[in-house]
Amino acid sequence: MSTADSFQQHVLPTYARFPLAPVRGAGCRLWDENGKSHLDFCTGIAVCSLGHCHPRLVEAIREQAGNLLHCSNLYQIPQQAELAEEINTHHVKLPGKVFFSNSGAEANDGLIKAARRFGHHRPQADGSPRFEVITFQQSFHGRTLGSMSATGQAKIQQGFDPLLPGFRYLPFNDTVAIEAGIHPETAAVLLEPVQGEGGVHVATPEFLRAVAAVCKKHDLLLFFDEVQAGFGRCGDAMAWRMIAPEIQPDGISWAKGMGGGVPIGAFWLADRAIDEAGSALASLMGPGSHGSTYGGNPLVCAASLAVLREIREKELAAHALLMEVRIRETIRSWASPVITGVRGSGLLLGVGLDAALIAPADGKTAALVVVEKLMDKGLLVPAAGPETIRLLPPLNVTAAEIDEALEILRGVIGEF
């Protein structure tokens, strides 16, 4: 049975999959089951930050697999402690504490639970708990019931109601709406500093500062979803620092690029006092409040440590900024009417497309038409909404690989 037939017969059809079956990867390249080589600027959707099968990551996994794969969070896991220290000291660079999950959605669920606990600890004037989390239109926070309810896109939620109550979706980058959108039951604000799935939209510094000011004024927790944008992807260890470096968030979620391909996510809570008695935010999530059997096991933590240390030691965030400039300058030099602009930060970039010039048919979006043509020519990229394709190469991509990918893109764009 072919892979496609086997899928059809045995796998739930939740994904609209392309007819491509990858079997091997190295760096920026991916080979399919027919032996065709592809330049991979999708990287498992910003997951393989070091490219495929980076030797340091492979070696860390091999070594850990030979020592201990899994034990339990009933015990102290040295790799987990080491990874949390790496994250706090070298990436967040603010005092705080980490919980390890297996995905981005679960990391956001953890932040939502922390907001609820905070709302109990700091209730409304009448003593009833605060519970609402403000999120934003076109956001994406995941597919679990909690993170899906947080997501400000109707298409993600359709047919799954009743949703988890307690979310309000405000327009992104609207400083007036955020001030007016706070209610007595509001406990937190959750946002992507760079919206990824929703079309690659970067928060403006004015907006981030307005949100931070509103949080301070109304005693709300400020959470950043850096699941896609974090750990070097946007040109700094943390994406919000590219926009408004002085802001100190209360919580952050990560996943995707932090494991380089192993399933790991995490959320972080700041070590800050949340009441007059000086109780720490982290104390709201005490023993028994949250858990995950796999979360932060020795294997994934050893892998993530290798990834984060490589990103830091090789200064891959700074490299991402250089490559961003190369991409922007090259695309600008084409002066193509098909391309409406390049948005994003570092190597989380969206190329906007003029749908009228692409004139998609058969119910396809302009982005899908371009993604399929690029795939045919050997370049893999994901779409982000109907009129944007994303460029998400590994953070260690070379200038020559960027040039090769852009040459393919130029050829495809030239067809319209």
Interaction site with ligand PLP (CB under 6 A): 103-105, 108, 140-142, 192, 196-197, 225, 227-228, 255-256, 265
**Closest CB to ligand PLP among residues 25, 265:** 265
**Which DSSP symbol is given to 260?**
B
Minimum separation from the CB atom of position 135 to ligand PLP (A): 11
Minimum separation from the CB atom of position 193 to ligand PLP (A): 10
Minimum separation from the CB atom of position 78 to ligand PLP (A): 25
Residue 390 tokens read as 């994303």
Spatial CA neighbour of 192 closest among 135, 147, 258, 122: 135
Amino acid letter, 279 = S
**Closest CB to ligand PLP among residues 108, 345:** 108
**Closest CB to ligand PLP among residues 148, 406:** 148
Minimum separation from the CB atom of position 190 to ligand PLP (A): 10
From first CA to last CA, the distance across the chain in angstroms is 38
Question: Does the CA dihedral 148-154-158-164 come out positive or negative?
Answer: positive
**Closest CB to ligand PLP among residues 12, 277:** 12
Question: Does the CA dihedral 100-122-124-138 come out positive or negative?
Answer: negative
Minimum separation from the CB atom of position 254 to ligand PLP (A): 9
**Closest CB to ligand PLP among residues 80, 103:** 103
Minimum separation from the CB atom of position 107 to ligand PLP (A): 8
The DSSP annotation for 100-160 comes to EESSHHHHHHHHHHHHHHHHHHS--TTSPPP-EEEEEBT----SSHHHHHH-B-HHHHTT-
**E strands, 42-109, where?**
96-101
Query: Rounded distance, CA 322 to CA 308, Å?
Result: 19
**Closest CB to ligand PLP among residues 79, 108:** 108
